[in-house]
Structure 1
Amino acid sequence: MTLTDTNQPKSVNQPKSGATKATVFVDGASGTTGLGIQERLRLLDNVEVKHIAEDKRKDAGAKRALMEEVDLVILCLPDAAAKETVALIDTMGNSAPKVLDASTAYRVAPDWAYGFAELAPDQADKIRTAAKVSNPGCYPTGGIALLRPLVDAGLLPPDYPLTLNAVSGYSGGGKSMIASFEDGSAPAFELYGLGFEHKHVPELQLYSRLTRRPIFIPSVGNYRQGMLVSVPLQLDTLPGKPSGADLQAALAKRYAGSKYVTAMPLNEPGKGGKLEPEALNETNQLELYVFASDKHHQAVLVARLDNLGKGASGAAVQNMRLMLGLADA
């Protein structure tokens, strides 16, 4: 794996025990997200990763002892197991590490900081000072990045009836989905989440500041990683009838100077162009597009990202740096 945008950290805020490096424990390091995080951490000079013996992974005493030694724990666990570990951390008092959770367990919890640093101008600072941060879902990262600036700017009403369509590589679907695609038993493409209860909808709605629950239709294609999230809009049904240029300008204003999020020029890559999902693989980058037709008063917003990068491991390392006082934003 080649990671193209992992910068070296510059400083660490008071690591435990006077160490010169920040110390991190990745709990659940054998899964896709955990493996991606460890790959990125190996590129950092000022971070030391602590490990627990395989036969001690479910030993609460051994886990507690290790967590007392580290500055931050990254949880790459199922929701129930993540909650158990957080409950254990909550008993540790002043010896408790900071915690970054990559599950869905705490993404809408009011006492956790949401780990999309570009959500609002002050969000990175909230992550820096938080003891507990929830890493965002891959699909919501794209959807929220597109919608939140437009809601904040008054271009998109919070109660607008929105539909989001998305396609991801199969690596985001867990071990069984990965196995089915890699052994050839899975179809080339399929829709899923058709019961309207996809676990990413609550965070997508909350952090986009939507009062009406959006319709979210995810899909998976027969390729490993890379993601597109798209939102169609009828522009003449929006207040003020904004143009595509108005939408693009709002995105450009929100993400001006952002290290990882780019608002692309209007109708880029051009009339009749195409957009494929794999161009940002192995990066923590997120590209936002507005395609619009003045003739038909229609637009499509599109977010492109690596579901394993900005959609998972890349975002986790970005949040880890912020939480530990390393250089990032």
Structure 2
Amino acid sequence: MAKGSIPTVFIDGEAGTTGLQIRERLELLPHVAVRSIAPERRKDPGARREMMASVDLVVLCLPDEAAKESAALAASLGAEAPKVLDASTAFRVNPDWAYGLPELSPEQPAKIAASMRVSNPGCYPTGAILLLRPLIQAGLLPADYPVTVNAVSGYSGGGNAMIAAYESRTAPEFELYGLGLEHKHVAEMHYYTGLTRRPIFVPSVGDFRQGMIDSIPLHLDLLTGGPAPADLESVLTARYAGSAYVRVVKAEAKLEPEAMNNTNQLELRVHGNAARGQAVLTARYDNLGKGASGAAVQNLGLMLGIAVETRLPAAAE
């Protein structure tokens, strides 16, 4: 599909956190060429349209409204339009866009590869979807279960303003947010998990740059058949057997959020107390890795039909 000898990529919004990390990862790939617009012309629609017409794939690392405008600009090219991978929330539940979570189903990688338009998943929903969807599909977790997703992220997930506040030591060490229960990631969690009841989502941010844990408490007697924690773990293990990036590992008494940093790896655990009839599902990953830039490069590889390296260069670790 390449327009030249090797695939070409343009990152629209390359100066942001996600765009910078995508570029760093792409620098490990000698068989991909990243093209850029001169800084003084990055907001020039004509320059952007000309660039889009010359490349195989455009990655959008922009706010939602700007992403919509950029996607429309790419579509206006008709037969010359490149593939588009969007990192915003603008198209994640849009049926005309493929959802860029390859582990969503066995068929999803092929769907991503064949699509002209792919929406990269949100950081928080990635872990929640991978935990809940297999349990719902297996019939263990009722689709109307009153799910609560608690999550903590490093401050890099909040964009430049939050990064500046934490690194200047003017931000609190920890805070809950989104307590109006209208966080933009809820729609995505609801749609792709298969839940019929809207989940409650309680995000938080801590004084560490990157890393993430999603946690979901469950009462086992409210699940179908009253399964043991081991039954939940067995379903997840079978679902992700052979996955390159998602693995089910044994529960631990404590978890810290930074262990997966600078990788595209994601760990799932079932922490349970069978005697008490309770369990907590957890997903641990890098909010800038499998939660953003690493996932984008994984999708980019599928869309361009190439092998990719999703880690950052060693110097960045």
TM-score normalised per structure 2:
0.96
Q: Which residue of 2 aligns with 1:150?
A: 135
Q: How big is the shift at 1:195?
A: 0.3
AA aligned to 2:118 is V
Structure 1 residue matching 2:104: 3-state secondary structure: coil
Structure 1 residue 176 displacement after superposition: 1.1
Gaps of 5+ in 2: 311-317
Map 1:1-329 onto structure 2 (within 5 A): 14-16=1-3, 19-265=4-250, 268-269=251-252, 273-327=253-307
CA–CA separation in structure 1 for the residues paired with 2:214 and 2:192: 16
3-state DSSP of counterpart to 2:256: coil
Q: 2-side partners of 1:282 and 1:89: how far apart? A: 31
Structure 1 vs Structure 2 CA RMSD: 1.0
Which whole-Å CA distance do the structure 1 matches of 2:50 and 2:34 have between them?
15
Instruction: Give the CA deviation at 1:327.
Output: 3.0
- 1:118-141 deviation digits (Å, cap 9, x = unpaired): 001100110000000000000000
Provide the C-alpha distance between the structure 2 equivalents of 1:327 and 1:32, rounded to a whole number of angstroms.
24
Q: C-alpha separation between the residues in 1 aligned to 2:264 and 2:257?
A: 14
Distance 1:237 1:158 in 2: 12
Give distance in 2, aligned partners of 1:83 and 1:158: 32
Whole-Å Cα distance in 2 between the matches of residues 285 and 20 of structure 1?
A: 31
Instruction: Give CA-to-partner distance per residue, 1:36-86, whole Å, 9 cap, x none.
Output: 100000000100001001121121111111111100000000111110011
User: Mean alpha-carbon deviation: is it higher for 200-209 or for 50-59?
Assistant: 50-59
Give secondary structure in 2 for the equivalent of 1:161. coil
C-alpha displacement of 1:237: 1.2
Aligned mates of 1:142, 1:34 — CA distance in 2: 21
Match in the other structure for 1:5: none
Deviation, 1:20, is 2.2
| 1:91-144 superposed Cα distances (whole Å, 9 cap, x missing partner) | 111100000000000001011000000001100110000000000000000100
Letter in 1 for 2:267: E
Tell me the distance in 1 between the aligned counterparts of 2:244 and 2:224.
Answer: 32
State the Cα deviation string for residues 217-267 of structure 1 (Å, max 9, x = none): 0000000000000000000111100110110011011100000000113xx
CA contact (8 A) 1:165 1:218 kept: yes
Rounded to whole Å, the distance in 1 between the matches of 2:234 and 2:5 is: 44
Q: CA deviation at 1:314?
A: 0.1
Q: Classify the secondary structure of the residue corresponding to 1:118.
A: helix
For residue 11 of structure 1, what is the aligned residue in structure 2? none
What letter corresponds to residue 185 of structure 1 in structure 2? Answer: T
After superposition, the C-alpha distances for 1:150-185 in whole angstroms (9 at most, x for unaligned) are: 011111111110101000000000111111111111
Q: Match of 1:154, as an amino acid?
A: G
Report how many aligned residue pairs link the two structures. 309
Aligned-partner Cα distance in 2 for 1:180–1:61: 35
3-state secondary structure, aligned to 2:124 = helix
Instruction: Tell whether the 8 Å contact from 1:136 to 1:312 is kept in structure 2 after alignment.
Output: yes
Indicate if the aligned counterparts of 1:20 and 1:46 stay in contact, CA closer than 8 A. no
Q: Is the 8 A contact 1:227 1:306 kept in 2?
A: yes
Structure 1 length-normalised TM: 0.93
Does the 8 A contact of 1:26 with 1:34 survive in 2?
Answer: yes
Match for 2:147: what amino acid? L
> What's the secondary structure of 1:149's corresponding residue?
helix
Cα distance in 2 for partners of 1:257, 1:45 equals 27
Superposed CA offset, 1:186-235 (max 9, x none): 11100000000000000011000111000000000000000000000000
Cα distance, 1:147 vs structure 2: 0.4
Q: Which residue number in structure 1 is paired with residue 314 of structure 2? A: none
